[in-house]
């Protein structure tokens, strides 16, 4: 049986407005949980980008002069490869360096345009066997000043700390966001259930007059969906509003150059927004779906 659209629209909006305050509460919770999730995703993205060179235990990087001769490079290469203290070695050529640069400065396209791969230094990323700071220091010192080597950069205490803290922080935010997501599903579910409970006599009467279960269900389901979607929309709106603020609280890149990559680009954020919108729909649908099924089957 075709349910008329205007009937559904009418019923849904009546219900939404009748229980305005509880509807608001569940929209708010959806919003907060999705906002938190969005923040966690953003921070995570930023930190991963900012520290991408340093992932996987890399303790120092040997940058090669772009103008170095093949022999010079060969010597450095050989020395690194044959060193018994190096556990793992990765070579990043100029094109890969360009890739990295591009992603690090995705929010500053004007910067990317001024750079071509041939001015970027290729580099060796070194994971040493022994990670204590003294031996790392001694090892990296061996390559500093070698012919063809532009510079040797070690992972600082700061970088390690940022990785650790932000790792902890994002896990924490994911957990909180996850709990809140659970809470919001529960809440949408309950809003709908309460709405149905408050109208249980009405529903009983509708059934006695010959309404099918779907005829009764659909407006309630739309109600849940609307709550999820509005909640997600508000969360995205908040994230957009919050972005300048976030960019401001990221430690000043001139003071901490490490953080220049922590400000994500619009395209990356857009991906996050799409994910949030999708989750909003899912929350609404699941919440309402469970509510109507459980209620009408009794």
Partner 1 sequence: MIKLDNVTKVYKGDVVALRNASVEIAKSEFVFLVGPSGSGKSTFIRLLNKDQTPSAGRIFVAGKDIGELSSWKVPYLRRNIGTVYQDFKLLANKTVGENVAFALEVIGRPRHVIQTQVPAILDLVGLGNKAGNFPHELSGGEQQRVSIARAFVNRPLILLADEPTGNLDPATSVGIMQLLDKINKTGTTVIMATHDRGIVDRMRRRVIELDRGEIVRDQVRGVYE
Does 249 engage in binding with its own copies (CB under 8 A)? Answer: yes
> Which of the listed partners (its own copies, partner 1, none) does 5 bind, with a CB threshold of 5 to 8 Å by partner kind?
none
User: Could you say which of 75, 159, 206, 250 contacts partner 1 (CB under 8 A)?
Assistant: 206
Radius of gyration of the chain (CA): 28
Q: Does 205 bind partner 1 (CB under 8 A)?
A: yes
CA 172 – CA 178 distance, rounded (Å):
10
Site for its own copies contains 186 (CB under 8 A): yes
Determine the interface stretch with its own copies among 60-68, 79-87, 115-123, 172-180 (rule: CB under 8 A). Answer: 172-180
- Of the two residues 89 and 194, which places its CB atom closer to its own copies in the complex? 194
Q: CA-to-CA distance for 186 and 291, rounded, in angstroms?
A: 10
**Residue 188: how many other CB atoms lie within 10 Å:** 30
Q: Which residues contact 52 (CB under 8 A, 6 or more apart)?
A: 100, 103, 104, 261
Residue of 153, 161, 157, 159 lying closest to 60 (CA atoms): 153
The reply to whether 5 sits near partner 1 by the rule CB under 8 A is no
- Tell me if 254 contacts its own copies by CB under 8 A: no
Burial of 175 (C-beta count, 10 Å sphere; 0-12/13-18/19+) = exposed
Pick out residues in 127-156 that bind its own copies (CB under 8 A).
156
Residues interacting with its own copies, by CB under 8 A? Answer: 19, 21-22, 24-25, 28-29, 32, 36, 39, 156-158, 161-162, 164-165, 168-169, 172, 176, 179-180, 183, 186-187, 189-190, 193-194, 197-198, 249, 251, 256
């Amino acid at each position: 049986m075709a349910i008329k659209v205007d009937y559904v629209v009418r019923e849904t909006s009546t219900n939404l407005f009748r229980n305005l305050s509880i509807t608001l509460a569940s929209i708010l919770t959806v919003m907060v949980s999705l906002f938190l999730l969005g923040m966690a995703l953003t921070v995570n993205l930023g930190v991963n980008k900012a520290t991408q060179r340093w992932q996987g235990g890399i303790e120092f990087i040997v940058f090669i002069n772009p103008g170095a001769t093949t022999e010079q490079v060969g010597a450095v290469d050989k020395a690194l490869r044959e060193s018994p203290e190096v556990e793992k070695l990765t070579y990043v050529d100029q094109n890969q360096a360009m890739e990295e640069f591009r992603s690090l400065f995705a929010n500053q396209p004007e910067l990317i345009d001024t750079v071509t791969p041939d001015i970027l230094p290729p580099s060796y990323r070194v994971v040493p066997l022994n990670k204590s700071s003294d031996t790392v220091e001694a090892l990296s010192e061996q390559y500093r000043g070698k012919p063809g080597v532009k510079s040797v950069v070690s992972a600082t205490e700061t970088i390690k700390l940022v990785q650790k803290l932000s790792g902890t922080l994002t896990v924490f935010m994911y957990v909180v966001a996850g709990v809140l997501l659970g809470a919001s599903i529960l809440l949408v579910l309950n809003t709908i259930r309460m709405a149905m409970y408050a109208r249980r006599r009405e529903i009983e009467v509708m059934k006695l007059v010959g309404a099918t279960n779907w005829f009764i269900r659909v407006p309630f389901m739309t109600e849940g969906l609307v709550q999820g979607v509005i909640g997600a929309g508000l969360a995205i709106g908040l994230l957009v509003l919050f972005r300048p603020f976030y960019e401001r609280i990221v430690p000043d890149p001139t003071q901490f150059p490490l953080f220049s990559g922590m400000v994500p680009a619009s395209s990356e954020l857009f991906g996050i927004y799409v994910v949030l919108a999708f989750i909003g729909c899912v929350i609404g649908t699941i919440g309402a779906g469970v509510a109507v099924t459980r209620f009408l089957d009794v």
